[in-house]
Structure formats: structure tokens, C-alpha cells
Amino acid sequence: GDSVTQMEGPVTLSEEAFLTINCTYTATGYPSLFWYVQYPGEGLQLLLKATKADDKGSNKGFEATYRKETTSFHLEKGSVQVSDSAVYFCALSGAGYSTLTFGKGTMLLVSP
Amino acid sequence: EAGVAQSPRYKIIEKRQSVAFWCNPISGHATLYWYQQILGQGPKLLIQFQNNGVVDDSQLPKDRFSAERLKGVDSTLKIQPAKLEDSAVYLCASSLRGRDTFYEQYFGPGTRLTVT
């Protein structure tokens, strides 16, 4: 079945550092890929998405590129802020389906 | 626009007791989802409704979990009897539609259940 593997956290960075959170997936066909973010005490929010190979999703300074050849969708940000501290989830939606399969989440902690 | 509402936010019960969670989706959203998020893991889909019909309940432990969505709006998820391993955050989400294509899912804040 479909699955998502993302790097374990916590990832601890200083403000303005470069961020990479790795995500790889296993799925049949051509899934859509997503990054969700969960701030403390809040529900999950869609951060960005990509629906086909080589698409780049971007939002709030975060980017991720759908790499079919490496089955990856790594999240990057050039300069993190303290307000980016949250748990980040990589997810996929299989071809023809509307349901989401999530990774385990990666906690990001950014210090001033 | 109001988001997805859930209640209660927290619940502590003893094993073998029953518990119910309530969800009110965003107005006009036809599809409603219940997820279970165990500490340290990503959310896992329990059940998906399209209006008031069940689309997918393949991962719902039907011997103890039940869910309904009367009139295609609010939904209730029930656990009876609860086990220790049911301790988790229960998330409700809704989307405009969602049977054969993806529409963004909007999540509520969740209900944190602790079973002692």
C-alpha cells in the first residue's frame, strides 16, 4: 500500500538557518504530494502541494519539488523564523483517491 | 468563514467506558473525515463520509468504533468500550467534495483522548 517516510525530529535550528526536511514515498501510479503544518494547539493546515512530477509547490517561503525519479518531496526554506516552529507532515493522495496517507511528522524547533 | 469545530477538546476516561466526539464541518462541505493521530505518528483515516453516506471505513475498528453523519452535516464518532490503545488525538476534517479527486481538507483542532 501507499506509504510516506520522513526524517525523524526534532530538527533544531537557529533563526535564519536553511531548512531541509526529507520526505520519500511509495505509491502506485502518480500520487499528489502535500506538506501540512501543525502549529502548537492548532489543527493541521495545508502548507503546499504538487500534483505531478517536477511540479514545485511553494508557500510562505517554503518550497518542495515533486521528484518522481527519486520518489521524494523534500521541504526547504532558505531562512527559518521562530514562528516556523511546528510539526511538519508529508502526505500523499493516491491516484484516483481523495484520502490522505501521512508520514509520522517532523518537529521543527527554531531558536532566536 | 468559520473553520471545522470539534468538541470536547480534551477527554479523560477509564478503559471500558464509552466516549463520543462531535464535529461540525465548514458550511457547504460535502465530505467529512475522521482521523486518529497517535502520539508520534501521522494521522490515520478512520472513516470518510460523502454527505451522509460512508465512502471509506476500511480502517475503522468496527467492533468498538462507530460514526454517523446525520443530515449530511454534523458528525459523531463513538468508542465503546474504550481501550488503552485508543489514547490519541481524534481529528475531524472536511472538504468541498472528494470522492474521485482531491479537494483541500480543512482540519479541526482535534479532541485529545486519554484512556486510563
What does each of the 112 residues of chain A score in pLDDT, given as a tens digit? 889 999 988 999 999 999 999 999 999 888 999 999 999 888 899 999 998 899 999 999 999 999 999 999 999 999 999 999 999 999 998 765 668 899 999 999 999 9
Angle, vertex CA B21, rays to CA B89 and CA B11, nearest 5? 60
Q: Are strands A62-65 and A75-77 parallel, antiparallel or unpaired?
A: antiparallel
CA–CA separation, B80 and B17 (whole Å): 7
Q: Which of residues 17-76 of B touch A (CB under 8 A)?
A: 31, 33, 40-45, 48, 56
pLDDT for the residue A57:
96
pLDDT for the residue B69:
95
Count Cα atoms within 13 angstroms, Cβ side, for A96: 4
What does each of the 116 residues of chain B score in pLDDT, given as a tens digit? 689 999 999 999 999 999 999 999 999 999 999 999 999 889 999 999 988 899 889 999 999 999 999 888 999 999 999 999 999 999 999 998 755 566 788 999 999 999 99
Q: In what order do the strands lie in the sheet with B19-24?
A: B5-7, B19-24, B75-79, B65-68
pLDDT for the residue A41:
81
Chain-chain contact of A42 with B48 (C-beta, under 8 angstroms): no
**A100 at B interface, C-beta within 8 A:** yes
pLDDT for the residue B52:
84
**A57 at B interface, C-beta within 8 A:** no
pLDDT for the residue B65:
97
CA dist list (Å): A53 to A26, A65, A100, B98: 14, 8, 18, 22
pLDDT for the residue B102:
63
Q: In what order do the strands lie in the sheet with A56-59?
A: A19-21, A75-77, A62-65, A56-59
pLDDT for the residue A49:
93
* CB-CB neighbors (< 8 A) of A7 in chain B: none
Chain-chain contact of A98 with B107 (C-beta, under 8 angstroms): no
